[in-house]
Amino acid sequence: MNVNLLMILLNGITYAGLLFMVASGFTLVFGLMRVVNLAHGIFYLLAAYLGLLIYRTTGSWWLCLIGSSLIVAACAFVIHSTLLRRVQGDDQRETLLTLGISFVVGDLLLAYFGGMPQRLRAPEMFSVPVSLGILTYPGFRLFVLGIAVFIGVFLWALLKFTQLGRIIRAGVDDRDMVAVLGIDIDWAFVAVFVLAGFITGLSGVIGGSYLVFAPGEDIHVLTYSLIVVIVGGLGSLSGVALGALVVGLIDSFSKTLVPAFTMFFLFGTLMLVLAFRPHGLRGREK
């Protein structure tokens, strides 16, 4: 196989890994809570900027990763209990609130950090290129892919084998029916929202070390998450994986071959998928 082609393919797959991380939290929240968390992108960006602060003071990338994710998870908890809870049950108002939050936090981040693009420095151990037979590949990207696979397996096991997982899956199907079994589904909402915040925090720090970030990156992330879950099918973890792969590859190929038209290609993909599978590749009719 052509080395360039293989490179583009690998770039697509590793980018898909990042997209999977970002979109998995989003789809979990939507699937269970019926809230389109439009603050999702800003969670990502917030984690990246928090990582920048933590790195400046401690110099440890691993501390950035854990610290930022925990703080973002805590923010998710606060947002849920102060704002979303007030309008719980009104899905559209919850969604609009997250939009407002994203607007405000985005502006405040711009005020504090300025508009210059930033990047986190990944640890030395990842800057070593890895030899993969006919080509060498950046080690950090392979690490990203590894983390994505790990998160995927973790979420799959959580959904499959734990009581929280059963509650989430059942709640996606029929919330009221879960409640009348005596299960406090509100508690599951909080757990999922915070978990999604944590995973998004992880992906923010990892993504911020993979690509540069600047104000506005939140919207980029949000848009890609939306495309991934719409293509893959809402609320399904395997759908996110598939959607991330499709979007990652199309993005990688079109960015290399026809950089001005990436968005048109993504739009075309969306049209094509939805024309034949209105609920996404792995989506099910409600």
Partner 1 sequence: MNAESVSRRSMLLLALLLAAVIPWIVPNFYTFLLTKVLFLSLASASLILLAGYGGMLSLAQVAFYGVSGYIVAYLALRTGVSFLPTVILAILGATITGALFAFIAVRTSGLYFLMMTLALGQIAFFGAFQWARITGGYDGMVGIPAPVVFGQVMASGKAAYYFTLVPVLAGFYWLHRMVRSPFGVALQGIRDGDVRMAALGFNVKVHRFLAIVFSAMIAGAAGVLSTYFYGMMSPQLVSLGAAVTLLFISLLGGIARFEGALIGALVFVLLEDYASVFTARYNTIIGLFFILVVLFFPKGIAEIFRRKKRAVL
Partner 2 sequence: MEPVLEISGVHVYRQGSHILKGVDLSLSGGSLALIGRNGMGKTTLISTIMGLLRSSEGSIRFMGQELIGKKPCLIARKGIGLVPQGKRVFRSLTVDEHLKLAFEPKRKHQADIYWNVERVYELFPRLKERIRQEGTRLSGGEQQMLAIGRALVTNPSLLLMDEPSEGLSPIMMETVIEACHRLTAAGISLLVVEQSLHFASSVSDRYAILMTGAIVQQGEFPDLLRDRQLLSAYMGISNTRVAR
DSSP reduced 3-state for 171: helix
- Smallest separation, CB 162 to partner 2 (Å): 10
Cβ contacts of 125 within 8 Å, gap of 6 or more: 139
281 forms part of the interface with partner 2 (CB under 8 A): no
Q: CB of 86 within 8 A of CB of 78?
A: no
Interface residue with partner 2 among 166, 220, 255, 279 (CB under 8 A) is: 166
Q: Which does 149 bind (CB under 5 to 8 A by kind): partner 1, partner 2, none?
A: none
Residues 29-51 as b/e (b if ≥16 CB within 10 A, e otherwise) read bbbbbbbbbbbbbbbbbbbbbbb
Segment near partner 2 (CB under 8 A); pick from 80-88, 176-184, 197-205, 260-268: 176-184
**Radius of gyration of the chain measured on its C-alpha atoms:** 19
Q: Which does 191 bind (CB under 5 to 8 A by kind): partner 2, partner 1, none?
A: none
Site for partner 1 in 248-277 (CB under 8 A): 259-264, 266-267, 270-271, 274-275
176 forms part of the interface with partner 2 (CB under 8 A): yes
Q: CB of 230 within 8 A of CB of 26?
A: no
Bridge partners for 138 per DSSP = 129
* Tokens at 202, concatenated: 């992880």
Q: Is the dihedral of CA 195, 202, 220, 240 positive or negative?
A: negative
- Smallest separation, CB 182 to partner 2 (Å): 4
Interface residue with partner 2 among 4, 184, 261, 263 (CB under 8 A) is: 184
Q: CB of 228 within 8 A of CB of 244?
A: yes
Tell me 133's DSSP state: T
169 forms part of the interface with partner 2 (CB under 8 A): yes
Q: What one-letter code names the amino acid at 34?
A: R
* Tokens at 37, concatenated: 């968390």
108 forms part of the interface with partner 1 (CB under 8 A): yes
- The CA distance from 60 to 91, in Å, is 40
Q: CB of 164 within 8 A of CB of 188?
A: yes
Q: Which does 147 bind (CB under 5 to 8 A by kind): partner 1, partner 2, none?
A: none
Interface residue with partner 1 among 230, 245, 246, 247 (CB under 8 A) is: 230
Site for partner 1 in 191-210 (CB under 8 A): none
Give the x-and-dash track for 12-31 against partner 1 (CB under 8 A): ------------------x-
Interface residue with partner 1 among 77, 103, 113, 137 (CB under 8 A) is: 103
* Contacting positions for partner 1 (CB under 8 A): 30, 34, 36, 38, 83, 86-87, 90-93, 95-97, 99-101, 103-104, 106-108, 111, 219-220, 222-223, 226-227, 230, 234, 259-264, 266-267, 270-271, 274-275, 278
Q: Tell me which residues touch partner 2 (CB under 8 A).
A: 163, 166-167, 169-170, 172-174, 176-185, 284
